[in-house]
Amino acid sequence: MNRDSSSKFLRKFSNFTGYLTIALVFLMLVFFLVIPVGCIVSRAFTNEGHFTLDYIKLLFANDRQLVSVQNSLLIGILTTFVTTVISLPLAIITAKWDFKGKGLLSGLILVPMVMPPFVGAIGVQRFFANYGSVNLFLMKLGIISEPISWFGGSGMLWMVVILEALNLYPIMYLNLSAALSNVDPSLEEMASTLGARKFKIFKDIMWPLSRPGYFAGAIIIFIWAMTDLGTPLLVGFNETISVKIFTMVMDINENPVGFAMVFLVIFMTVTIFLISKLFVSGKKYQMMAKGHVTSRSRPATGLESVFIYIVMLSVVTLALIPHISVFTTSISDNWFMTILPEHFTTRYYELVFKTELAYKGVVNSLFYASLSTTLDVILGLMVAYVVVRKLIPFANLLDSLVMIPLALPGIVIAFGYVVTYTGTSLDPMENPVPLLVIAFGIRRLPYMVRAISSALQQIHVSLEEASETFGASRFYTLRKVTVPLVVANIIAGCLLCFAYAMLDVSDGLILAMKDKYYPLTKAIYALFQENGNGELLASALGIIQIGILAACILSAAAILGKKMGELFRSG
């Protein structure tokens, strides 16, 4: 076989292998995304093989379940509103002004991303209990004479909203700051020259052009908050649809209304997602400038600087309250009826590695996250390459399919796995490890695809064509030319996938049914339920988790910069 024939054979073989890889990706998404969701939908409308609406009727006939649905929707709406109120001023400030300490403050704004809100709930409960630090402090100052029931009535719902908003506002901020930075500054200058006021410029120019970025982040926040499981559980607010579904997992065969509840979640999230798409695409606002536009931020004046520091430091301080409360709880000793602990200790951090449940939680999560991140790298690189280079006719369909997990709640996927694979070789009641790794991988795959795609779009295809012209196979070109050029984005994607696999709540709480398989989040939840030192151990474990997540997410933010916001978009 001569050299030309050998090169042609290798090229054909690499192309065949590429198509085979994409076929495997499709099969994986079908078996671990489409089929589980389809199984839930079919079970919600069938009884002994016959079509029925009985489960849907039972769902809407139960007032308590309807209240749970209403509460979940309210949490989603309020969280989205609060994150908008927090993030919009921050995005405008960082996009339009330069000031001393801008880099440091912009980094501190992202700190809440490193702590899941349900971990913050542990410390916040201690601070805001009837005789917690806040009430005791206010009583000592004489501001109140009796404790305020912060968790009474609607207070519990608002506590969930606040915790969710303080954790999720960086996603909104990243999307808004990226969108505002991409607006051509000449448009604003032209409008200002013609006498338009700043508010009118923002309303008629800045907002319409940045609106797609806003709604892309808002949809993620709304769905995330509406379907979050961990925060309501630890706060004790059980009247949400996610908590109701969680309690039905073990007795789903006896109480099939759970299928109707999960279907309702799917219906709501898909409907909201489609409505947002139609709303954003209803009017098209475009600029003549191509690609990224460098925003012309100007130095802030003295008065503007004072305003900027007040706004940014207030947000950072407020956002750090859950972190401070968890850390204080983790080092507390003999803390009863006092504003602060009487003594401080680090022994609970030592006990983490001596307590079997806590230690296994850390080890298991590191193992699951490592495997799922490896899976994401392999699949993400192939999907991004095929989608960006349009190697197959249905590349856009593949891209849309991969992005579905961003708009599909984790509780739906986990519930679908229990329903679909119970009684099979992947039975989560026997060994949930394969399903946990797959669930973590599929739910974070969009981050990896987006991270790599953004880099591939900046690499001209002629570099790869030149390599193949000289006889290199496509996979050789990918390995020697393409991958080295996108390695920084791959690393950033790995860090994010790993961090959010460690942070995952829904999959771990539902799929890990035996304590020896508990991931970190379920170990924290289990310890929090224990009497004695359980709450303190859970806090220490939460701080360890925060440290791991902080290292990963802040490193990814340093690599990706403003492009990081593009990863948290549903479309």
Burial 280-311 (b: 16+ CB within 10 A, else e): beeeeeeeeeeeeeebebeebeeeebeebbeb
Fold of 1-41+348-571: MetI-like fold (1.10.3720)
pLDDT, residue 321, reads: 84
Q: What are phi and psi of 344, to 5 degrees?
A: -120, 145
Residue 437, pLDDT > 90, answer yes
R_g of the chain, CA atoms, integer Å: 25
**With respect to CATH, is domain 53-345 assigned 1.10.287.610?**
no
Residue 217, pLDDT > 70, answer yes
pLDDT, residue 5, reads: 58
What is each CA distance from 323 to 30, 117, 368, 379, in whole angstroms? 39, 10, 25, 35
Mean pLDDT of the 373-401 span: 81
Mean pLDDT of the 228-240 span: 87
Nearest-angstrom CA–CA distance, 104 and 133? 30
Residue 287, pLDDT > 80, answer no
Choice among 12-16, 492-496, 514-518 with the minimum mean pLDDT: 12-16
Mean pLDDT of the 359-382 span: 91
Mean pLDDT of the 315-336 span: 85
* pLDDT band for position 434 (cuts 50, 70, 90): very high
Of the candidates 361, 330, 261, 322, the one whose C-alpha atom is nearest the C-alpha of residue 111 is 322
**Cβ distance 507 to 410 under 8 Å?**
yes
Instruction: Please give the full DSSP string across 375-406, using - where no structure is assigned.
Output: HHHHHHHHHHHHHHHT-STTHHHHHHHHHHHH
Burial grade of 401 (CB within 10 A; 0-12, 13-18, 19 or more): middle
Each residue of 438-489: pLDDT tens digit? 999 998 888 888 888 877 877 777 776 677 676 666 667 777 777 787 887 8
SS (H, E, C) 240-251: CHHHHHHHHCCC
Each residue of 49-85: pLDDT tens digit? 788 888 888 888 888 888 999 999 999 999 999 999 9
Same fold, 1-41+348-571 and 53-345: yes
pLDDT, residue 292, reads: 45
Mean pLDDT of the 259-265 span: 89
**Cβ distance 564 to 500 under 8 Å?**
no
* pLDDT band for position 550 (cuts 50, 70, 90): confident
Choice among 182-186, 285-289, 355-359 with the minimum mean pLDDT: 285-289
**Cβ distance 225 to 84 under 8 Å?**
no
Burial 406-422 (b: 16+ CB within 10 A, else e): bbbbbbbbbbbbbbbbe
570 three-state secondary structure: coil
Percentage of residues in the chain having pLDDT higher than 70: 84
Nearest-angstrom CA–CA distance, 83 and 252? 35
Domain boundaries along the sequence of the chain: 1-41+348-571, 53-345
Mean pLDDT of the 358-366 span: 92
CA dihedral (431, 436, 439, 442) in degrees, to 10, reads -110
Residues 6+ apart with CB under 8 A from 467: 476, 477, 480, 481
Residues constituting the chain: 571
Nearest-angstrom CA–CA distance, 59 and 56? 5
298 three-state secondary structure: strand
* pLDDT band for position 293 (cuts 50, 70, 90): very low
Mean pLDDT of the 540-546 span: 87
Each residue of 82-137: pLDDT tens digit? 999 999 889 888 878 888 888 778 777 877 776 667 777 887 877 888 888 888 88
Each residue of 1-41: pLDDT tens digit? 455 555 565 556 555 655 776 787 788 888 998 899 899 88
pLDDT, residue 6, reads: 53
47 three-state secondary structure: strand
Each residue of 269-278: pLDDT tens digit? 888 877 776 7
Residue 567, pLDDT > 50, answer yes
Nearest-angstrom CA–CA distance, 22 and 19? 5
Q: What is the average pLDDT value for the chain, to the nearest integer?
A: 81
Nearest-angstrom CA–CA distance, 126 and 137? 13
98 three-state secondary structure: strand
Nearest-angstrom CA–CA distance, 380 and 217? 21
